[in-house]
A and B are shown apart, each in its own frame.
Chain A
């Protein structure tokens, strides 16, 4: 997938080296611009649906660019035979999520394709926002010595999706963590906490996001398993399927790299917000590394590498 994207960007001769994120300098400041498409399957899971996800996903992308999300576009591609009640529920969900996230949907499009032309409904949202003055965050800016802060439990959304797919007849009380994270950057900026990197551990989970930062910043990151919050329900669900929460997606969490000296303050500020009440330091950037490395100190006291996720996490049985 990464290779495909690289090839496409090459062909487009694009000024932006970024993938789905771009920042523009204007006379009055910097504007962040991002886009994302959502093909969630199934479209409704416990605690989230594709409508809510399409808003919060793009809102959170803007947050990771150091911006305050302001305006969204909304494009729907709908299968001809789609149940009208179902569609209206999704639309209502979009509206509620936008209101909750403090963003306005100002433009959009709807296309209907023949039955089978898409999987029920595909949504694309693009978003713009102003980058906070003085904030300069990027996956390339993590530095040796930085503290790695996680704003809440991992794997909730990924587990909710797997549970909803019902492929393994498991009943689990797992719920998506999908939520807008604007309040987090607002609070950290207001309290003048210097930020190096913000990343949301969506597809591929925490492990994959940490690898992206480690690679981009050319650093070695070490995290501690026992400091990473995992809900009991998610833990049990993962044990049964033989998969690790570290590789399951989150849709309401941030990983924040700050200078070590500001770690305590950052966690204090975060814990005062509902959406990051379980925030904690989970590790450190321990040094430079040409290829980028992520290491996990396991609960049992061992040390293991945490590579990028490859392929779909198919549950292991035998």
Chain B
């Protein structure tokens, strides 16, 4: 497959990792680099990339899994919609997230109408084809995903589709990055920035962040060559005492991002304060539908309530998404909590840190 296979070239990866290791040797100390995208966590695990680097590199995962950072109160509303007899359309990841020992998959097994969609566009097609049904979309994701839903909402308005609404649980990256860099205990030395979020928002939003916190940050693609090269670039900056935003993923990420997608996102959504699992409420870090699109707000339309639910005892998901603990530090990891018996979202989501670590044998 073009633009994928070439970036899995083992020989090239080896050479770049070699240079990165020279820099790690030169730096001598422990270096902590955080990636904040579930797809990066998965790619590192899937290709066994950690094993390529020297011991003193601490590559940690941050809050990059949208399902993992959504608080239970958000999931509760999706469950409520299903239990109220609405047809729920969601991405596959959400299906096995446990809430009070049940999941959407369990509910589906009990006869509730819950459908996995590959694209939000499939949801609008369903709404048009089944005018008798009330469809509710679970809107979970970051800036890569929210413009898609913005486009769908506008289309609904344009075509007069009235039986589709959205629970907006979308979150934004720059505010959470700021929170992580401000956290005194985390001491992050460098950032691997999410390549597809950046495809939408561009490189600009990170410049201010990096200037403020003086930490090297590299916008990164998702193949092995991309990731090891970005790590090398961060290490090089550290070795040369620089801190700037660099773009490794230039084949896809433009400096200004995707202007059309940004415009659509801003037309339909407005930034609001939002609660993140493990991180509390971060100002301006979530998206809500703007006033003129209230009609499509499932929360209002169906009277959904963000009911809090206790986290299962012993589950460290909150700390894992924050990057302050690793899965192996959780008492339940592997012993009780496994992909076939997930206790928290970090193990069940395909982008979850615990699932990624499990599949990588870490």
Contacts and interface: CB of A to CB of B under 8 A. Distances in A.
Q: Do chains A and B touch in the complex (CB under 8 A)?
A: yes
Contact of B66 (A296, A300, A318): A318
A305 B334 CA distance: 14
Contacts of A295: 361
Contacts, number: 96
Given A300-B13, A301-B13, A307 B358 contact: yes
Given A302-B48, A307-B359, A318 B10 contact: no
* Main SS class of interface, A: loop
Given A236-B1, A300-B48, A307-B359, A318 B140 contact: yes
Given A304-B360, A305-B360, A298 B145 contact: no
Given A299-B10, A311-B340, A318 B50 contact: no
Contact of B350 (A168, A232, A301, A314): A314
A302 B52 contact: yes
Nearest 7 interchain pairs by C-beta: A305-B361, A302-B48, A310-B340, A304-B48, A316-B350, A300-B224, A310-B339
A169 B118 contact: yes
A167 interface: yes
Interface in B36-51: 42, 45-51
A311 B49 CA distance: 25
A64 B220 CA distance: 46
B10 to A, nearest CB: 5
B204 interface: no
Contacts of B76: none
Given A169-B118, A295-B361, A318 B141 contact: yes
Given A226-B10, A317-B93, A318-B91, 17 more contacts: A169-B122, A239-B1, A296-B48, A299-B8, A300-B10, A300-B48, A302-B48, A302-B52, A304-B359, A310-B339, A310-B341, A311-B340, A314-B92, A316-B93, A317-B118, A318-B66, A318-B351
Contacts of B66: 318
Nearest to B359: A307
A150 B220 CA distance: 36
B302 interface: no
A101 to B, nearest CB: 34
B96 interface: yes
A233 B173 CA distance: 35
A304 B144 contact: no
Contact of B116 (A167, A242, A296, A310): A167
Nearest to A318: B141
Given A307-B358, A310-B340, A314-B350, A301 B92 contact: no
Interface string B113-141: 00010100010000000000000000011
B307 interface: no
A206 to B, nearest CB: 15
Nearest to B49: A302
Interface residues of B, number: 42
A304 B45 contact: yes
A305 B50 CA distance: 12
A301 B14 contact: yes
A298 B45 CA distance: 10
B95 interface: yes
B49 A300 contact: yes
23 contacts: A167-B116, A167-B118, A168-B118, A169-B118, A169-B122, A235-B1, A239-B4, A295-B361, A299-B10, A300-B48, A301-B13, A301-B17, A302-B49, A302-B52, A302-B224, A303-B48, A303-B51, A305-B362, A310-B341, A314-B93, A316-B351, A317-B91, A318-B144
Contacts of B50: 302
Interface in A271-318: 295-307, 310-311, 314-318
A299 B224 CA distance: 9
